[in-house]
Structure 1
Amino acid sequence: MFILMFVVKMMKYISQAFWLLLFIPVLAFAQTPQEKEKYVMFDDLYKAKQYEKAIPPLNWFLKNKPDFHKNIYIKGYNLYHNLVKETSDAQQKAQYQDKALEIYDMRVKHFGEEAKVMNQKGHYAFFYWGSRPDKVDDLFKLYTKIIALNGNNTYYRSVSNYMYMVSQQYRKGNITGKEVVDTYDKLTSIINANMPKYPQHWTEVKNYVDDTFKKIIRSKSKEGKPMLSCEFVNLYYMPDYHKNPHDIETIKEIMRLLIEIRKTNPSAPCGQDSTFAIMSEKLFKATPTYEGALLIISIYKKQKNYAKVEELMDQLPELAKTSKEKASAYYTIAKAKRRKGNKTSARSFALKAAAADAKFAPKAYNLIGDMYYNSGQICTNKNPVLNRAVYIAAYEMYQKAGNAAKMAKAKVQCPDIVDAHTYGMQKGQLISVGCWIGGKVKLMLR
């Protein structure tokens, strides 16, 4: 029992000593008896949660000894945060809110650490000023400063909050479309820098920022015009491109905007001219991608530059990153080869497409089946049974594709039973197809 009492007593002394050590460093900054007296009074009232009574000694320091210790400011704005929670009077609450936020600025003035302190101020400012019409513009200026000061160290919630305010400011006509795009790019850069470290928080932020940006650029003015348009790109971005036509970052930005414009307005005139094609090719050469190749192919198709189309198509399989992309690449080449009349090569690429991704197999086998079926006029034979072997080959391809309608269509063209008997052939025996198709099929009769 004695030992227990001794331990309890010692713990009490240790606890008191601990708090005294925390208190002494701040008190050590007091150079006069008045400063010591005021600090002890302020600290005691603050710890006792008598926040209203703690205001006079706090104000004394803010007025007479603003460089006493930064702890004064930390406790000062926390004091007012607590008063905000305690009061239900709207006018009084607003005064407390403003005073709390003012003390953050005073701390910066006397103790620096502006980026860090503004980050903290922004957290409260959004809740204090966000619903106050007289403070909306001040809040936007504050957040603009926070983003500029902190960059990649900005709190994740501040990034979402700022994008919300950007939307507000644009709707009010206080910022331009160019400023919206520039801000979005800046916030996206911050998000990308932080995503690997804290994916859970930053994924949510990214989704919100992206969705808000899309809503802004697709919103329409009173005249019914969307913010993002060909005129917008020509006015704000093309001059930069013409100054430095080899700047890949500028080209990337223009391409991203043009693609977004075409999504919302497929008939938009921008993105269809030779300048767009040149920019696309420059970007593709700098960073070859599957999507980039498809984009340039579509441009050159419209321009009927088929030599370029074929050149780029051949690169698609190498650029493909997934089995789906690879199958799509092979299938695209197969269709192009078929249009040029190169049936053997078209079949080869169609089979590669089927092998790359099972989901593409039906399309690939249908393509081959169509080529076989349409070869009935060129793959002829004096033997009427062999003359129709191509249709059996087509039937087999349609069967692989699961296309019952085309299977029925091909079966109607299969060899006649009378011709088979005349030439001594029986159902099920292997017969040569010949022509470019080659191989053998089991005789099928109609």
Structure 2
Amino acid sequence: MVSKSIVYLLPILFLGASIQFASAQCETWNDSPQKEEAENSHTNYRSALKMKDFELAFSEWQKAYNIAPAADGLRDFHYMDGIKIYKEQLKNITDDAMRKEIIAKILTLYDQAVQCYESTAIKLKDCDDTCQKQKAGQVLGRKAFDMFYEFNSPYPENLAMFERCLELSNNDVEYIVFEPTANILVYQFQNEQIDAAKVREIHEELVEAADYGIENNEQYKAYFESSKARMLAKFSEIESEVFDCDYFKGKLIPMHDEKPDDPDVVKYVYNKLLQEGCPKEDPFLAKLQSTYEKYASEENAKMQAEFEAKNPGVVASRLYKEGDFEGAISKYEEALENEEDQLKKAQYHLNIASIEFRKLKKLQSARSKALKAAQLRSDWGAPYLLIGDIYADAANSCGGDSFGARVVILAALDKYLKARAIDESVATEANRKISIYNANRPNKDDAFMRGHKEGDVLSTGCWIGEKTKLRVQ
């Protein structure tokens, strides 16, 4: 039984024989008596392609292509879509002769598209001569890509196509060209089919084009970066045999001498020479390093200043470590003014409270900030641990006498107990503090002498102003 795929391919291949590849390859339908027929076939095959009906697409594409290979002269659809259709046919063909015939047609379509761009028979909107050449170069890049990955073309022919692509594109190539070009160059060099000078020449063009794409093509920047990385990884197999420091110095020193005070030039030349193996001890590099480090220091300071202006909380942390506690508080307060995240605001309030208590001994203000932190984050035990520490620290000064100081300790214990109750993450620390201060609860006899018993509600007095139940020891 004949397979369905073979049945549908046979008419396509016979129809393919009728395509007029040799004549009027850049003709448009604009002045053609068959313009309407060409436009209708164009519309029909484009619709068929969208539906993946390749048999109908091929039939209609033939008609449109034979009448007007360059369509309306504003686009390359008939060439590039023809390539797409022929590639689809190749998927189901195993006969070598038939495959070679279709590959030849694909390569011819690429060449025709290039010729039409170069001759401006296809004229893109707002595209000058340089732009037209760049587009022709990009088409050649796709042709060379297919020659390498799909058609197994001879390397010398393939490399020539990539070179022509680079020449016409003026750096504006697609990211697909870098890796296959590097593979060909490395293979040919390793097999003594190309010399080091030629490798260096094309390598430089490729690196320049890759950097151009990274800098100017935001949409595909990541693809350019990864393609460049893979290309350089391939070149690394032969770099010690091809490149040396003197070569790059000879290339880059004139660039530096033209603009010795331009930091961007200095940076590029310095990094490039280091990248290519020049030692830092080289007198020229030592000179560059001094200039570059000065520039880098100025740039880093500028960037740090901009970062700190946008991140006062980070500055506050640095100032704290430097011992500028008032400055740290000021920056945390600045951070609070612009912060909307409740958790971050809570942390800033607690940081201020901690500094005011532990470093500046502003106990009342510290408690106020800690309470604000607790209000913003009700399940957080850390603010209550800090308030407990504040009360414990203030016990002697606020208690009035020994018994009063121990009542303040009870208020501190209340805060530790609350911290443990609402936040398991601080339970260990809360228990440690509770075990310490339990020994400082009021003495039972002292309480009795003052007319108090277990469970009575007592006031701490002073600025603390807390009420706490009496627990004696």
TM-score calculated relative to the size of structure 1: 0.54
- Partners of 1:143 and 1:87 in 2: CA distance: 24
Whether contact under 8 Å (1:334, 1:346) holds in the other structure is: yes
**Residue in 1 that maps onto 2:229:** 167
The one of 400, 419, 425 equivalent to 1:401 is: 419
Whether contact under 8 Å (2:75, 2:123) holds in the other structure is: no
Letter of the 1:29 partner, please give it: D
Letter of the 1:87 partner, please give it: L
Alpha-carbon deviation of 1:364?
0.8
Map residues 72-111 of structure 1 onto 2, 5 A cutoff. 73-88=76-91, 92=100, 102=111, 104-109=113-118, 110=120, 111=122
Question: Residue 299 and residue 159 in structure 1: after superposition, are their counterparts in 2 closer, same or farther (change >3 A)?
Answer: same
Letter of the 2:340 partner, please give it: K
Map residues 3-402 of structure 1 onto 2, 5 A cutoff. 27-30=29-32, 49=58, 69-70=72-73, 73-88=76-91, 92=100, 102=111, 104-109=113-118, 110=120, 111-113=122-124, 128=146, 142-143=173-174, 158-169=220-231, 171-172=233-234, 254=300, 276=301, 279-284=303-308, 288-289=309-310, 292-338=311-357, 339-359=359-379, 361-382=380-401, 384-402=402-420
Whether contact under 8 Å (2:384, 2:419) holds in the other structure is: yes
Q: Please provide the CA RMSD for this pair.
A: 5.3
- Name the SS for the 1:314 alignment partner: helix
Whether contact under 8 Å (1:366, 1:398) holds in the other structure is: yes
Letter of the 1:392 partner, please give it: L
Alpha-carbon deviation of 1:442?
2.0
- Name the SS for the 2:31 alignment partner: coil
Stretches of structure 2 that go unaligned for 5 or more consecutive residues are 1-26, 46-54, 176-208, 237-274, 278-285, 421-426
TM-score calculated relative to the size of structure 2: 0.51
| Deviation digits for residues 282-307 of structure 1 (CA, Å, limit 9, x no counterpart) | 554xxx43xx2133234444544445
**Which stretch of structure 1 is more off in the superposition, 69-78 or 396-405?**
69-78
Whether contact under 8 Å (2:74, 2:123) holds in the other structure is: no
Question: Residue 173 and residue 55 in structure 1: after superposition, are their counterparts in 2 closer, same or farther (change >3 A)?
Answer: farther
- Name the SS for the 2:458 alignment partner: strand
**Residue in 2 that maps onto 1:203:** none
Question: Residue 343 and residue 173 in structure 1: after superposition, are their counterparts in 2 closer, same or farther (change >3 A)?
Answer: farther
- Partners of 2:371 and 2:144 in 1: CA distance: 59
- Partners of 1:341 and 1:94 in 2: CA distance: 85
Whether contact under 8 Å (1:427, 1:445) holds in the other structure is: yes
Whether contact under 8 Å (2:411, 2:466) holds in the other structure is: no
Bigger radius of gyration: 2
**Residue in 2 that maps onto 1:441:** 468
- Name the SS for the 1:438 alignment partner: coil
Question: Residue 432 and residue 28 in structure 1: after superposition, are their counterparts in 2 closer, same or farther (change >3 A)?
Answer: closer
Query: Once the two structures are aligned, what percentage of the paired residues are identical?
Result: 17
Letter of the 2:356 partner, please give it: K
Whether contact under 8 Å (1:126, 1:161) holds in the other structure is: no
- Partners of 1:435 and 1:369 in 2: CA distance: 16
Question: Residue 69 and residue 413 in structure 1: after superposition, are their counterparts in 2 closer, same or farther (change >3 A)?
Answer: same
Question: Residue 76 and residue 238 in structure 1: after superposition, are their counterparts in 2 closer, same or farther (change >3 A)?
Answer: same
**Which stretch of structure 1 is more off in the superposition, 296-305 or 422-431?**
296-305
Whether contact under 8 Å (2:407, 2:460) holds in the other structure is: yes
- Partners of 1:130 and 1:370 in 2: CA distance: 74
Query: Relative contact order (C-alpha < 8 Å, sep 6+): which is higher?
Result: 2
Stretches of structure 1 that go unaligned for 5 or more consecutive residues are 1-24, 175-220, 224-230, 246-250, 255-275
Question: Residue 343 and residue 112 in structure 1: after superposition, are their counterparts in 2 closer, same or farther (change >3 A)?
Answer: farther
**Residue in 1 that maps onto 2:206:** none
Question: Residue 163 and residue 343 in structure 1: after superposition, are their counterparts in 2 closer, same or farther (change >3 A)?
Answer: same
The one of 417, 423, 445 equivalent to 2:444 is: 417
- Partners of 2:468 and 2:79 in 1: CA distance: 91
- Name the SS for the 1:431 alignment partner: strand
- Name the SS for the 1:142 alignment partner: coil
Letter of the 1:73 partner, please give it: D
Letter of the 1:410 partner, please give it: Y
Alpha-carbon deviation of 1:337?
0.9
